[in-house]
Structure 1
Amino acid sequence: MKLNYINLPVLAKFYATDAFSIETGPQLGILLSGKGGYLPNSRSYRTLDFGLGFGLGYKITDKLELGVRYTIGFTDVTKTNTENLKNSVGQFTLGYSF
């Protein structure tokens, strides 16, 4: 199954030290399209997906930062009662400030 979303995270970032950060917050996903699996078309999937993201970051220099984030979905993405499928996403990030 392939689901395409636009995800809108709203995260708060807290710096535990000058270099180490923790982030968390909600994420709203809007379904653009869905196909595959045993469901016939994109109308078989829910339009909105809600999740919670959390992550860690480390500032290597004043301009370079590494991070890791995981978002767990709370919404069953199908409209059927037979499955309870939820999205989850893992991310690695590399940030550069200029």
Structure 2
Amino acid sequence: MPLVSDPKSKPLPHSNSRSIGIWMSVEGRRPIQPVRVLVSNEALSQLDPTNVRDLYAALEIFDRFRSLVETAASRKFDSHGFDAEKYEGMPTVRLTTDDLT
């Protein structure tokens, strides 16, 4: 089953993992199964290499490419499932540069 977007989920920085995170959910799962999607700042910087590599730039790039990030997260979830590590006890999908190309 694919992941579905939560348009109300605001992207938030995760400084310890150098990533930006949002919430998505598993389509059709009842009760709703939230999934934390974390996309690395490095992966985001590859989407726009001309942009400065700082937190503000990572958030701005995420906003511009949110649809692509969510599609990549759903594709990775469909092929690999959840990551072994959890975020605050919740399942995660972590995206790197390879996942966005």
TM tier relative to shorter chain: 0.3 to 0.5
TM-score normalized by the length of structure 1: 0.33
Larger Rg: 1
Higher share in helix? 2
Q: Which has the higher contact order (CA 8 A, sep 6+)?
A: 2
What is the TM-score of this pair, normalised by structure 2? 0.33
Higher strand share: 1
